[in-house]
Every structure is written in structure tokens, then in C-alpha cells.
Structure 1
Amino acid sequence: MTVPPGNLADRPAAHGVSSGIAERRDAGPESGATARPDDLLSELLRSVRLSGERVAAYRPPPAFSLGFAGTGSLHIIEAGDLELRIDGRPRVERVRAGDVVLVPRGDPHHLHDAGRGPAGPEPARWLCGTFTIGDPQAGHLLGALPGVIVLGAGRAPAPEGLEVARRMLLIEMDSPSQGSAVMISRILDLIFIQVLRAWAAGDDAEPNWLAGAFDPQIGLSLTAIHRDPGREWTVEELARVCNLSRSAFAARFTARVGTPPAGYLAQVRLDAATELLRGTSLPIALIAERVGYTSEAAFSRAFKNRYRTPPARWRRDIRGH
């Protein structure tokens, strides 16, 4: 998380899908329902432009060990017992039929056979969906999530409707037709969101923006920040949005989100700045004003602290000239 500027003079100014591809591997809304006014998860997923990419069915031979890396992954375990290891971490997760495993950040990981000889469980079988991020600069939103989320027996329950979604994926894989690629992409998107919802609503959710979004009070302040990051927000104003006292709000925000309000606001402002730097030709000074800084110098200091390069150079590098 980005720390807020230490200089009081740096206080901000006042301001008013990709295609899906089905594979089988034997070895290795615009109208209708009304959206919630504080639907932060939808807003942030739109900004990340996360999209289901492809799905594959795995039925490997015994004693397998398969590696996955480079993209967000979703494993729907259909049969067998497997061990999941995130590379570089000692903890091993035991997963079995009915479990859902989400690796949202794309951390390299391996799935191993956990069977116990000839009398062991049914051979392992699972579906694996992958995801792409349309805006790599917004990837830290997913980076704030845990390395792996496991739902199922003995844990937070798997999402409702998962079995229906799984069957729909199999239909599109077994009998592909016109529109199957988009169907697979949309189904993966739905499952991804369902898993995030189920995890964030659980008691063991780690502090981050998603857990905060599901808090009925802190979620209101997060929505306010994301919708108007350039406003001169104070802790008192954000506390009023949540109908909490200043001290109660600050403590609850930090506990749910994992960083103080000022630090989170600073991060969101710089996110907004990168969008303007990449997508517009606005002068740096005007961008600084729009995202809530009183001076170009204050903005440049904050930007360089996070990206290790001045905003003008960052813009040149991202555009390739």
C-alpha cells in the first residue's frame, strides 16, 4: 500500500472480454436488475478489466505433478484427492472433490497426486479456468488478495450455483458452437465473482479492499473514495459517510482494509493518475489537480515514491516513446 505524503503541504486540493477457449487434456448488464449504489466490487473489477480466458479438463495419470503460472487460475475439483502447493511457501492445501480453488494473483503453484496406492481414492479429475487482466497497472487490486482461496468441505462453502456453472462449462467444451468462446469467458467471470463473494463474507477473510467492501459501513467509505478520489477527503468526512465516530472509523477501516484511510486514499489517487497519464494527453499539472494534489511537485513526489519514476517518464515508457 502507498503511504500518504509526510509533508502537510502535500494535502490534496478540493474538487468537486476476451475470448474463451475450451481444451481437454488427458495428461497434464445494460438493463434489468438495478445495481447497488455502493457496488464497489463491480466497479473495481471493471477497472481491472478481469476476464475469463479459457478452460481445460485435466485427467492426469497417477503420481502426477502439474505446474501452473503466469495467470490467475480457478480449479474446480471433480474427483480424487490433490495437494496444492504455492511455490516458495511451506504450507500444503489438501483439496478433494467438491472443492473450489482460486489463485487470483496468478502465483506459480503445483497440483500433486495425493492418492494412497491402489486402494486410494478415485483418480483425480478437475477443470481449470484461467483469467487475464486487461489493465496490468490495476493488478495490485488483485495483488491485495490472498495467494490462494479454497472453498468447500470444512471451509467456507462453495458458491451456490457452482454445479450449474460447471455443467455449462462442460457442455460448451463437449459441444462447442457459435458463441462458445464468449460463453466460457462469461461463466468463468461469474464463478470468479462468486468465489470472491463467498471468501470475503467469511470470518477468516484477510484485511484488504474486498473484505472492506463487504463491511456494511466501511464499504460506504471505499465507494466514496473510488468515485471521487480528487475530493479533499478527511478522516472526519469519511467517518460521517459511514455514520461512525472518527476514532471508531479509523480503527475499523484499518482492521478491515489493512491500511489507514489516508494510505488507501493515496493509492486510489495514484491509480486514477495512471489512467489519465496513459489514456490522455493532459499536462502533468492538470492531472495532479484532478486527482487531488495542490501542486505538481507534491504529485510527482508521491508518484515517484510508488512507481520509482517521475510521471512524465512513466507516461513515455508506457506509450513506448
Structure 2
Amino acid sequence: MWPRLIASKILKKRVGSNNFVADYPSDTETWIELPSLDQNFPSFNSDSCMVLDQEETQNYKVFVGTWNVGGVEPTDDLIIDDWLETCNMSCDVYVCGFQEVVPLRAANVFGGENKKITMRWNSIIREALNKRNRSEEKCKDVKSTGDDDDELGELPKYRCIISKQMVGIMISVWIRSDLRSFIRNPSVSCVGCGLMGCLGNKGSVSVRFRLHETSFCFVCSHLASGGRGGDEKYRNSNAAEILSRTIFPKGPSLDLPRKILDHDRVVWLGDLNYRISLPEYATRVLVDKGEWTALLENDQVTFIEK
């Protein structure tokens, strides 16, 4: 009990509580402004937000991607355009989840946020989303969104509204800059499920915000590994811990959701580590034969649903 309690306090201190980085300044102390940004953006306080008529419905397209990078730092020439499908630029919101952005050794597990690695990944995402030199042959039918910050015919600009790292788990959320006035109440909640049941080598980083009047929650997680029979119990336990322990800070609105499942839209992403409960050779044979029903019958996620 005592070791877990001490480790939990260390994690909370190292992770930085509810702080996160973002492109936009804010009046709240839970924001940390990223460097080299435009200074004329409005802050995310309630006074600067425009609210649509409750009966009006807006449709938005969201990209969600997850990548376990295996503890390897990104190279200077890393290009992620294909992953983000930036040629189409048809998404309004981009959510990028990462696992093992740092090697999972003791110094990193017990250490604080690696701001250098976070900034490198965000820089790569920014470059991919805001690149202006795409060829017309590769990127056809791209239309202007009418963003005030962009000239006619240019691709939309994207800005980071939330970026948070806990040990190897990182999530970064980007929006079209013309949507900035409709974003409210961004916040984060971290849950460690790793060593001693609480350290951040496994667990989740969850983010929430409101777009117009709809609340969104994105849960980026890295669950317990292990390919032996019964190891899925640890993954199930991690997921249950994340659901029960994720609590977002109170906001100015009394009806602001604080638990994951209380949000209007929830997306769970990450390296969940669920797998096919069959020997590798048997799995490969079924794949070669296209026996998808047999594979689904042995899918650990299917077991959970039952």
C-alpha cells in the first residue's frame, strides 16, 4: 500500500497535474503556451466563444491515428503526410496518439515530461498539417475553408489545442484555426496503470473539450502486454482502472462532464495489446486461408464483448 501511495504521488508531481501545452493562450493556469506562435489568437475563455443556436447542427470530420514508436526518437527528415492523409486535408480535427515516445526504462518512468520529445513530435505534426508546397498532382480538389488567417486558395491552417505526455504516452489534438472560437473547456486527465499499479509506463492520457455544444473525450492508452493465456485480464483491468480513475477538473459550467462515458462523443485509441488467442502458426494459417470468422472467434476483444 505505502509503495503504491508514494509512487502515485511521484507520478502526479512528475506529470504536472492538469497542465498541458497548446498553441492558444488562456486565462487559466492549466495552459502552457507553445513558443513561436501567433499572438493575436483569442484565449479559450467563455466570453470569447461564439455559441451556435442549439437547433443548428454542424458536421465535422475527425482523423484519429495511433502509433507505438517503440522508444525511437523521430528523425529530422521524418515525414508523416501519408499517415495523416494530408493530401486530402478533409478533416477538421486531427487527434494523434503515441505510445513509447521515450524508452520505458526506470529513468523515464520515474522522470517528468520530456518536453524536448513532445516539442519534436508536435513540430513534425505542425509541418505535416500546415505544409504549403504540396504538388497539385498529389493534392487535387483542395478547397479553401474561408479561414481568416489564410489567403484564398491556400490550404487551411491547423493549430494545437491540447498536447500532453505521460512517460511514453502522448496525445496531440489539432483543429482548423477557423474553429478556434468554438472550442471551450479543454483539459486533460492522466492515469498510470504500470509498475506498482500506478506508474505511467502503462495507462492513459485523456483529453476533453467542447466543440460548439458537443463534448468530446479522446482516451490515448497503452495497456498491459503479454501473450500468455489469461494475460488479457490485465488489459481488462487497465481499461477498468482508466474508466474509473479518469476525472477531469471542474470547469465554470456545472454540466461539464468529468468522467469518460459522460461525454457526448468518446474515442478510445492506443496500443491496447489485445490479440488473437491462438498460436502464431495457427493464426498465420487462418489468415492465409482468409478464415476471418475463425479469427474473430478467437479475438480477445470479442471475448470482452461477450
TM-score, normalization by structure 1: 0.25
Higher Rg of the two aligned structures: 1
TM-score, normalization by structure 2: 0.26
Taking CA–CA contacts closer than 8 Å with sequence separation of 6 or more, which of the two structures ends up with the larger relative contact order? Answer: 1
